[in-house]
């Protein structure tokens, strides 16, 4: 199951999306209401494939609402290998809808086991929702291992951004600290050109990371492949990792309170969703620092035009 912290930290990527839209990027079409989409999804997941589904129609003051969809997938453990069988396994999809006036791009984060492929998830998405999509399978979000400790679970993450937009992904994960003690690491993974070729996107990504994480009292560091091999195991299906960089935040910190989020981001009270201690903030509202978001969006768009790294046009009909 995806950690609740994953949901909270995903808000950092929302700043970039807001900036992109304000800088001129528009998705193809709009999603007017979550409820018809949820009904369509549920109708297409018959035969016990869909266990539960929750969806709420977002409005202008709610940037994201979560819909949890449990699916059953064939899996069997035999001799240390996964194979095809009718034994069901559980899959969690978390869907975020971002709403602001006339546009509502939908974010889908998929946690899946080795036997489950991104194409299978896309198949379910296409059948259930009927929307155009762009698949981004990040090789860095591969089975995660804690060094010096047993592997608790192997899993991969893929990000599906409907409406043809590839987005930064923020992930919360444990990493080994001093004397094997766990510490908190936040990875923001973006596709960039290899270091030796240079990348116009890199400084703008750093700005995004710094703005999203500087409030947490830590340090933002740039890591390349040589730096991250200590706590990221390569995935067997990924031939190379040279074309990716990781911007990682590590250090001791605590979750900001709702009041601190309001002061840091200028979010009015009515735009804040208050949850428990570890899910204080799940939404960014109209009070987000518009100037900073617009500047970040303009920088990323310009870098994308120069490098061709991101698809920033709308999805094809």
Total domains, the chain: 1
Let me know if residue 107 belongs to a domain. Answer: yes
Rounded mean pLDDT of 156-183?
31
Confidence of residue 306 (pLDDT cuts 50, 70, 90): low
In sequence order, what are the beta bridge partners of 182?
A: 176
d(CA 155, CA 91): 11
Distances (CA, A) of 55 to 38, 96, 123, 220, 289: 6, 10, 20, 35, 28
Name, of 67-76, 77-86, 184-193, 291-300, the range with top average pLDDT.
291-300
Expressed as residue numbers, the domain containing 178 is 4-307
Burial of 42 (0-12, 13-18, 19+ CB in 10 A): middle
Let me know if residue 50 belongs to a domain. Answer: yes
d(CA 61, CA 124): 30
H-helix or E-strand containing 136? strand 133-136
Rounded to two decimals, the pTM is: 0.18
Which residues, at least 6 apart from 263, have a Cβ–Cβ distance to it below 8 Å?
A: none
- Helices and strands counted in the chain (H then E): 8, 9
Of 6-10, 14-18, 256-260, least confident by mean pLDDT is 6-10
Distances (CA, A) of 116 to 82, 89, 113, 241: 10, 10, 5, 21
Let me know if residue 315 belongs to a domain. Answer: no
Let me know if residue 59 belongs to a domain. Answer: yes
Let me know if residue 183 belongs to a domain. Answer: yes
Q: What is the pLDDT of residues 280-291, one digit of tens each?
A: 222 222 233 334
Q: What is the pLDDT of residues 19-58, one digit of tens each?
A: 333 333 333 222 222 233 333 322 222 222 222 222 222 2
Let me know if residue 313 belongs to a domain. Answer: no
Q: What is the pLDDT of residues 150-161, one digit of tens each?
A: 322 223 333 332
Q: What is the mean pLDDT of the chain?
A: 32
């Amino acid at each position: 199951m995806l950690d609740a912290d994953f949901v909270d930290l995903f808000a950092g990527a929302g700043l970039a999306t807001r900036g992109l839209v304000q800088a001129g990027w528009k998705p193809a079409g709009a999603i007017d209401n979550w409820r018809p989409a949820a009904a369509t999804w549920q109708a297409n997941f018959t035969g016990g494939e869909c266990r539960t589904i929750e969806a709420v129609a977002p409005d202008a003051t709610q940037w994201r609402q979560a819909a949890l969809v449990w699916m059953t997938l064939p899996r069997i453990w035999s001799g240390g290998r996964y194979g095809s069988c009718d034994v069901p396994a559980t899959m969690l999809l978390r869907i975020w809808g971002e709403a602001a006036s006339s546009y509502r791009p939908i974010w889908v984060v998929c946690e899946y086991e080795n036997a489950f492929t991104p194409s299978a998830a896309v198949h379910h998405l296409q059948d259930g929702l009927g929307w155009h999509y762009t698949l981004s399978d990040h090789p860095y979000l591969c089975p995660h291992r804690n060094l010096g400790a047993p592997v608790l679970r192997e899993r991969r993450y893929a990000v599906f951004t409907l409406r043809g937009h590839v987005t930064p992904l923020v992930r919360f994960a444990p990493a080994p600290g001093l004397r094997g003690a766990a510490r908190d690491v936040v990875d923001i993974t973006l596709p960039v050109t290899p270091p030796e070729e240079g990348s116009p996107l890199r400084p703008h990504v750093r700005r995004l990371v710094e703005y999203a994480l500087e409030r947490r009292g830590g340090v933002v560091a740039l890591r390349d492949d040589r730096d991250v091999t200590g706590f990221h195991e390569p995935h067997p299906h990924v031939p190379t990792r040279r074309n990716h960089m990781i911007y990682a935040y590590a250090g001791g910190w605590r979750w900001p309170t709702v009041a601190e989020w309001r002061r840091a981001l200028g979010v009015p009270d009515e735009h804040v969703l208050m949850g428990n201690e570890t899910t204080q903030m799940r939404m960014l509202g109209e009070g987000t620092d518009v100037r900073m978001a617009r500047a970040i969006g303009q920088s990323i768009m310009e870098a994308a035009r120069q490098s061709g790294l991101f698809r920033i046009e709308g999805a094809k009909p």
